[in-house]
Amino acid sequence: MQFSLKVNSKHSQDIKDIMALAKGTNLISFAGGMPNNKLFPVEEIDILYNALDRKTKAIGFQYGPTSGYPPFVGTLKRYLKKKGLPVDTHKLLITTGSLQAISIITQEFVNAGDNILLENPSFVGAISIFETYEVNMHNIPIDKNGIIIEKLIEKIEDLHNKPKFLYVTPNYHNPAGIIYSLERKKALLKVLEKYDILLIEDDAYSDLYFNEDEKYLTETMVSMKSGAEVVYTGSFSKILGPGFRLGWLLATPEIFEKSENIKQALDACTSNFTQILANEFVKSGELDKYLVFLRKEYKKRKDILQENLLKYMPKEVVWNEPKGGFYVWLKIPKHIKATEILKITAKQNVMFIPGRVFDPLSKKDDRIRLAYSNVEIEDIEKGVRVIADALKEYI
Amino acid sequence: MQFSLKVNSKHSQDIKDIMALAKGTNLISFAGGMPNNKLFPVEEIDILYNALDRKTKAIGFQYGPTSGYPPFVGTLKRYLKKKGLPVDTHKLLITTGSLQAISIITQEFVNAGDNILLENPSFVGAISIFETYEVNMHNIPIDKNGIIIEKLIEKIEDLHNKPKFLYVTPNYHNPAGIIYSLERKKALLKVLEKYDILLIEDDAYSDLYFNEDEKYLTETMVSMKSGAEVVYTGSFSKILGPGFRLGWLLATPEIFEKSENIKQALDACTSNFTQILANEFVKSGELDKYLVFLRKEYKKRKDILQENLLKYMPKEVVWNEPKGGFYVWLKIPKHIKATEILKITAKQNVMFIPGRVFDPLSKKDDRIRLAYSNVEIEDIEKGVRVIADALKEYI
């Protein structure tokens, strides 16, 4: 029997190939952009779960509205309002993780062959979505302050068909670790307003800043006064647990309504069970307490990583010290392929993700993404040494 | 700003319009095809959850493999094997509800404008998916033993372009309440083999038979020897709780692999948290015990409904008594529109879903779907009386 199997994603395959290298049992992994199992608020959720009455628990077993479990939508709106997000003019859709939010928006606006814009490097999960929908990806380089505005304008002017949207992760970028400056955010909005291009602002990490003084940098573009249209996506994956599969999108009513219809056709509704737990977690104030703890824990890991990078990396390797989030993005000399380095370090049980995975064109391979979120503190030094030694062989 | 908002579903809108009629606080609802909140195994899940160790709970907070939480995949395979399903030759993908499984298969095989085949009436969730993907739906009537084979052949021969698949819900059909005879299942497989058309076998209700003697009727087509290719979908929504958002698809390795890639781009993975609970529920034997309870409870509701239908319905109204599942499908005289009847009964706080919602063409409206799964036993008589009285006005 012959099938017309349509879909393929080179980037998904890349990730699978990398993971296949991880054979050892005592892995030191800077690879996965995931929280550490030991840091999850298991005890807090235990207490909140056991305090629920039977009626509420039973609601957790039931279908819920496609847009989300209403008390949770209310709680999340209040939480986001405190962060300055426009929850009164925009509408909130709870999604099965923020990846689903990006998938919904892609289905909503893009047909196969349409143009979209994204950063280079970019979040590999989003790249995989765009590949799956056979979208034409046009990538714009970034520097330490964000997307390069001149390059963006150049690209827009160059394209025959207007891109359907620009997708960015401005706060504690995955994989680049940077945060956009406020000036860059404002400049970006101006360009998008001028060319009438929709912005997808993916913001999974903004609660994870390392210094209270720099919190102001996390201001979101959707909350800035501007004539540009913005769809904002967020997630509980980094601030509670990805296993809950809870994300959201915040959009103007027209976009919200279509998104809700697509969500209905994708999985009917998000789990009431996990929404009820997340609702208690936010409402009780536990999330705020947990964030204080997480910021400290991730900063600690970042500090130790930074210290060891300075100690072991050859001077040809450069990076920006992150101000929040999960990632350090090393720039290695152009003649070295990160994918080759990984093959060497993997034999010594040290894993990371090479740059080409985050390049929409799967080319640029002179970068190494180190995630410090899920590595054991006592392993950081050894891991860095193994990577540095492998690099030195090529320099 | 002008957007190219593509998607629309007439059937989703129909459901919204119907729900908007439900204004009262003391509703008697035969509308939603959902379990009853009072029947959920809340206490059993409580015990299983609290017996988990911290390490397992923490895994519940984490990302998992796209194909599913491995211990759960193993447990479910063993469970399905006992039901006779071909888990050794086929591969199992855990999905965020079985609606996602249908959505994945649709994305995998169908482009906008392609032909597919489905029953008339058909599950409205699936119709909404097909509408969202702008599929050409060709519908085949059913009788009390299943899809009408001659009409199916006629339709296939009629079409210029081969349909990408046939979608059916053979066991305790939603909305028609029937179960396919084994002869019909076999005849269907023969036709599909001959014309080389993929079958999507959606089987959310087969565990909910009312008589052990008739269990043999639930035999699945995917497990029958045949040259036809079958993708089988199942769900925990009716046998644990829809709030867990757990379903699955069982397919040959080639289809599985592409489905896994699409799933990756839709929501990365299904909730580990709810998979861990479902794993305990199945593994401990609680599911088997719970099914005995559910069969009794739903049979009780069906019996009372049947009794009251016989007592109150005018002789012009006919139906098949269901042998399992959630639904009775009333045939009313052709000149009466079920949608009009609903407007009358809704004023008296009695809800059901009119036939046109389940017609892919939104036309045939001489049917009424009564779901007895979520109605209170003491309300059944009054509910039936209100609907019967409204019908009598038109007869």
Per-residue pLDDT of chain A (395 residues; tens, 9 = 90+): 334 434 456 777 777 788 778 777 789 999 989 999 999 999 999 999 999 999 999 999 999 999 999 999 999 999 999 999 999 999 999 999 999 999 999 999 999 899 999 999 999 999 999 998 899 999 999 999 999 999 999 999 999 999 999 999 999 999 999 999 999 999 999 999 999 999 999 999 999 999 999 999 999 999 999 999 999 999 999 999 999 999 999 999 999 999 999 999 999 999 999 999 999 999 999 999 999 999 999 999 999 999 999 999 999 999 999 999 999 999 999 999 999 999 999 999 999 999 999 999 999 999 999 999 999 999 999 999 999 999 999 98
Residue of A nearest to B230 (CA): A1
Query: Shortest CB distance from A267 goes to which of B49, B100, B131?
Result: B100
Please state, in angstroms and rounded to a whole number, the distance separating the CA atoms of residues B14 and B267.
27
Residues 6+ apart with CB under 8 A from A118: A126, A127, A130, A137, A138, A139, A140, A166, A167, A168, A360
pLDDT of residue B254: 97
Q: Pull the structure tokens for residue B39.
A: 């029947």
Strand partners, B234: B248
Q: What is the pLDDT of residue A136?
A: 97
CA–CA gap between residue A212 and residue A294 (Å, rounded)? 13
Instruction: Specify which residues A139 forms β-bridges with.
Output: A118
Cβ separation A268–B240 shorter than 8 A: no
Q: Give the Cα separation of B388 and B30 in Å (integer).
A: 14
pLDDT at B231 over 90: yes
Nearest CB partner across the interface for B268, out of A97, A266, A274: A97
B34 contacts A42? CB cut-off 8 A? no
Q: CA-to-CA distance for A340 and A18, rounded, in angstroms? A: 11
Q: Output the pLDDT for position B20.
A: 79
Cβ contact, residue pair B58, A50, below 8 Å: no
pLDDT at A20: 79
- Select from B55, B242, B264 the Cβ nearest to the Cβ of A128: B264
Q: Residue range B241-255: average pLDDT?
A: 98
Place of tokens 């008739």: B214
Residue A121 CA to residue A139 CA, distance in Å, equals 8
Report whether pLDDT(B373) > 60.
yes
CB spacing of B59 vs A37 below 8 angstroms: yes
A149 and A102 in contact (C-beta within 8 Å)? Answer: no
Question: Are residues A165 and A117 in contact, defined by beta-carbon separation less than 8 angstroms?
Answer: yes
Considering only alpha carbons, which residue of chain B is nearest residue A57? B42
The answer for B362, left when phi > 0, alpha when psi is -120 to 50, beta otherwise, is left
pLDDT digits (tens, 9 = 90+) for B8-41: 567 777 777 887 787 777 899 999 899 999 999 9
Question: Rounded CA gap, B280 and B44, in Å?
Answer: 10
The H-assigned helical ranges of B205-337 are 253-267, 272-283, 286-312
Tokens of A145: 């302050």
B40: chain A residues, CB-CB within 8 Å = 57-58, 61-62
Q: Cβ of B34 and A107 within 8 Å?
A: no
Structure confidence at residue B4 as a pLDDT band (50, 70, 90): very low
Record: contact B63-A34, CB cut-off 8 A: yes
The whole-angstrom separation of Cα A273 and Cα B242 is: 9
- Phi and psi at A150, nearest 5°, equal -60, -40
Task: Please list every residue in chain A whose beta carbon sits closer than 8 Å to the beta carbon of residue B1.
Answer: 196, 198, 229
Q: Which residues of A touch B61 (CB under 8 A)?
A: 35, 37, 40, 42, 45, 240-244
Nearest CB among B7, B42, B62 relative to A58 is that of B42
Which chain B residues are Cβ-neighbours of A1 within 8 angstroms?
Answer: 196, 198, 229
Taking CA–CA distances from A33, the nearest residue in chain B reads B63
pLDDT for the residue numbered A8:
55
Measure CB to CB from residue B63 to each of A229, A242, A261 and give the nearest one: A242
ipTM over the 0.85 cut-off: yes
- Chain A residues whose CB is inside 8 A of the B8 CB are 258, 261
Among the listed residues B280, B269, B218, B253, the one whose alpha carbon sits nearest the alpha carbon of residue B41? B280
DSSP percent split of chain A into helix, strand, coil, nearest 5: 50, 15, 35
Amino acid A9: pLDDT: 67
Contacts of A46 in chain B (CB under 8 A): 50, 57
B31 φ/ψ angles, rounded to the nearest 5 degrees: -85, -70
Q: For residue B9, what pLDDT is reported?
A: 67
Q: Do B40 and A49 touch (CB under 8 A)?
A: no
Q: Which residue has the higher pLDDT, A10 or B105?
A: B105
The C-alpha atoms of residue B168 and residue A14 are separated, in whole angstroms, by 36
Sheet with B115-120, strands from edge to edge, namely B91-95, B247-251, B230-235, B198-202, B165-168, B115-120, B136-143, B146-147
pLDDT, residue B22, reads 76
Decide if A274 and B269 are in contact by the 8 Å CB cutoff: no
User: Who's near B8: CB < 8 A, 6+ residues apart?
Assistant: A258, A261, B131, B132
Nearest to B139 by CA among B362, B378, B326, B376: B362
- A vs B, Cβ pairs < 8 A, gives 229
Torsion-angle region of B124 (φ positive above 0: left; ψ -120 to 50: alpha; else: beta): alpha
In this complex, do B61 and A240 lie within 8 Å of one another by their Cβ atoms?
Answer: yes
Q: Which chain B residues are Cβ-neighbours of A12 within 8 angstroms?
A: 261, 264-265
Structure tokens at A227: 């004539």
* Closest partner CB to B273 (pick from A96, A196, A244): A244
pLDDT in tens, A191-241: 999 999 999 999 999 999 999 999 999 999 999 999 999 999 999 999 999
Q: Which residues of A touch B261 (CB under 8 A)?
A: 7-9, 12, 132
Task: Find chain B residues with C-beta within 8 A of A63's C-beta.
Answer: 32, 34, 237, 242-243
Return the residue of A nearest to B95 by Cα: A267
Cis peptide preceding A65, ω within 30 of 0: no
pLDDT bin (cut points 50, 70, 90) of residue B7 is very low
Q: Yes or no: say if B353 and B369 are a contact pair by the CB < 8 Å rule.
A: yes
- pLDDT for B171: 98
Q: What are A126's two structure tokens?
A: 């989003």
CA distances from A23 to A26, A382, B74 (A): 9, 18, 22
Query: How large a percentage of chain B has pLDDT more than 90?
Result: 92
User: If you measure CA to CA, which chain A residue comes closest to B53?
Assistant: A42
d(CA A258, CA B8): 7
Residues in chain B: 395
Number of Cβ within a 10 Å radius of residue A225: 7
For residue A95 the two structure tokens come to 């999604």
Mean local confidence (pLDDT), B120-148: 96
Q: What's the confidence (pLDDT) of residue A15?
A: 76
**Shortest distance, CA A255 to any CA of chain B (angstroms):** 8
Angle, CA of B352, B355 and B359, to the nearest 5°: 140
**Pair of tokens at residue A77:** 């709106």
Averaged confidence pLDDT in chain B: 95
